[in-house]
Amino acid sequence: MSSGALLARVGAACLLLLAPWSGVAYAAEPQYWSAGKLDVRPQIKTHVMPEYPADLPAGVRGRVVLELYIAATGTLDRVRVARAEPRDRFDQAAVKAFTGARFAPGMRKGIAVPSLLRIEVTFGN
């Protein structure tokens, strides 16, 4: 298949990077707009309730800062732990809670765009 046919098949919605030395086309990752650069921030549409890890004794407190990479469709592309205190105690519970979340997408100039949202999840009282 020629690279021109491949480009036509993939369509205009996906930005492609061509590697001329290999003849292979790679899809580029979309640019995620930070909340400060959006006209409308993404809003969560699903109820999210992180579960307290069963292997921790009650009363242990913690917080996890997540980076949510949200597609223009409102689905979650990926979740990254930016910071966690204490480390490796609540990370998985926070990520798991947001993995299936749906969002109203962020808007820039009236168009839904991929966005990056940082949130803090707290555990314990």
Residues 1 and 36 in one domain: no
Show the tokens assigned to 60.
Answer: 């242990």
Condensed to tens digits (0 to 9), the pLDDT of residues 13-66 reads 333 334 444 455 555 667 999 989 999 999 999 999 999 999 999 889 999 999
pTM of the predicted structure, to 2 decimals: 0.74
**Which CATH number does the domain housing residue 105 bear?**
3.30.2420.10
| Residue 119 lies in domain | 31-123
Contact 35, 106 (CB under 8 A): yes
Taking only the tens place, the pLDDT of each residue in 56-74 is: 998 899 999 999 999 999 9
* Judgement on whether residues 37 and 26 belong to the same structural domain of the protein: no
